[in-house]
């Protein structure tokens, strides 16, 4: 095989890895936001549970104040009993006290049901608290794991970038420019394998004559469909004796 083609294959492997690393590093924040979404959801649920608890507490407090007010009213009504002149007035007076006492009863019933609701809402807050603590742990772990992973990618990327000029120096400037123009044009894939008369870049058919040429010629050939540089990988020879090696 042409030495420049060998170098181009090597360069493509480098560039594919560089591209993959760059994509991985660039998309890390979006992956992180996916991890964050369930934490945010848990946080929103906790806030909602807390608001619900506060609203029930407020209603209960209002009813308790209402009862105090009615009790005060009854007390005042009772102190006026002595001033009542006739039976008609007295009946109306009793009725008013009775009505207020009924109001107290209704408010007390409501407080009982509010207490049940309060108990439920407190349990919901506790449960959401447990959930958010678990989500926080999960998020922190995912964050740490991702940061570690990204750091490894950065180190690898820096290493590859440092090594790349050494590979580039093995080919002519023209060949390099030719490679780079296809690389840019074909979204990072300029050199591809030809296998079973198929271009592994565009998956289209390679004419049989050209496929033979790929196997035998020392020329750098391009796919007629996608313009990518093609290479043929000769199968490695069978191990001696035909025994399968593991």
Q: Which residues bind Zn ion (CB under 5 A)?
A: 199, 201-202, 223, 225-226
Contact 128, 91 (CB under 8 A): no
CB of 203 vs Zn ion, minimal distance in Å: 7
CB of 150 vs Zn ion, minimal distance in Å: 34
CB of 23 vs Zn ion, minimal distance in Å: 22
Closest CB to Zn ion among 191 and 226? 226
Residue 48's CB is within 10 A of a number of other CB atoms, namely 13
Residue 106's CB is within 10 A of a number of other CB atoms, namely 14
CB of 2 vs Zn ion, minimal distance in Å: 19
Compute the half-sphere exposure of residue 134: CA atoms within 13 Å on the CB side of its CA: 10
CB of 184 vs Zn ion, minimal distance in Å: 16
Contact 193, 229 (CB under 8 A): no
Closest CB to Zn ion among 74 and 191? 191
Q: Provide the CA 207 distance to its chain's centre, in angstroms.
A: 46
Is 211 exposed, middle or buried, given 0-12, 13-18 or 19+ CB atoms closer than 10 A?
Answer: buried
Distance CA 11, CA 175 (A): 12
CB of 230 vs Zn ion, minimal distance in Å: 7
Closest CB to Zn ion among 81 and 195? 195
Q: Provide the CA 194 distance to its chain's centre, in angstroms.
A: 38
Closest CB to Zn ion among 133 and 203? 203
Closest CB to Zn ion among 41 and 225? 225
Closest CB to Zn ion among 190 and 226? 226
β partners of residue 199: 194
Contact 225, 202 (CB under 8 A): yes
Sheet bearing 221-222, strands edge to edge:
198-199, 191-195, 229-231, 221-222
């Amino acid at each position: 095989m042409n030495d420049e083609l060998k170098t181009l294959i090597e360069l493509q492997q480098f560039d594919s890895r560089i591209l993959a690393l760059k994509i991985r590093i660039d998309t890390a924040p979006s992956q992180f936001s996916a991890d964050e979404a369930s934490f945010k959801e848990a946080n929103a649920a906790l806030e909602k549970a807390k608001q619900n608890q506060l609203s029930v507490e407020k209603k209960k407090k209002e009813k308790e104040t209402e009862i105090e007010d009615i009790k005060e009213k009854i007390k005042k009504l009772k102190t006026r009993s002595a001033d009542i002149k006739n039976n008609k007035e007295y009946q109306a007076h009793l009725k008013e006290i009775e009505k207020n006492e009924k109001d107290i009863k209704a408010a007390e019933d409501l407080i009982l049901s509010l207490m049940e609701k309060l108990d439920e809402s407190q349990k919901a807050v506790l449960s959401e608290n447990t959930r958010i603590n678990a989500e926080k742990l999960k998020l922190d772990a995912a964050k740490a794991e991702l940061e570690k992973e990204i750091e490894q990618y950065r180190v690898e990327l820096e290493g590859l970038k440092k090594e790349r000029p050494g590979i580039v120096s093995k080919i002519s400037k023209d060949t390099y420019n030719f490679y780079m123009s296809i690389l840019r044009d074909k979204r990072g894939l300029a050199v591809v394998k030809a296998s079973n008369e198929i271009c592994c870049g565009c998956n289209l058919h390679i004419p049989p004559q050209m496929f033979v040429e790929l196997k035998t010629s020392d020329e750098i050939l391009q796919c007629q469909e996608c313009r990518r540089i093609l290479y043929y990988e000769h199968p490695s020879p069978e191990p001696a004796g035909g025994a399968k090696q593991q």
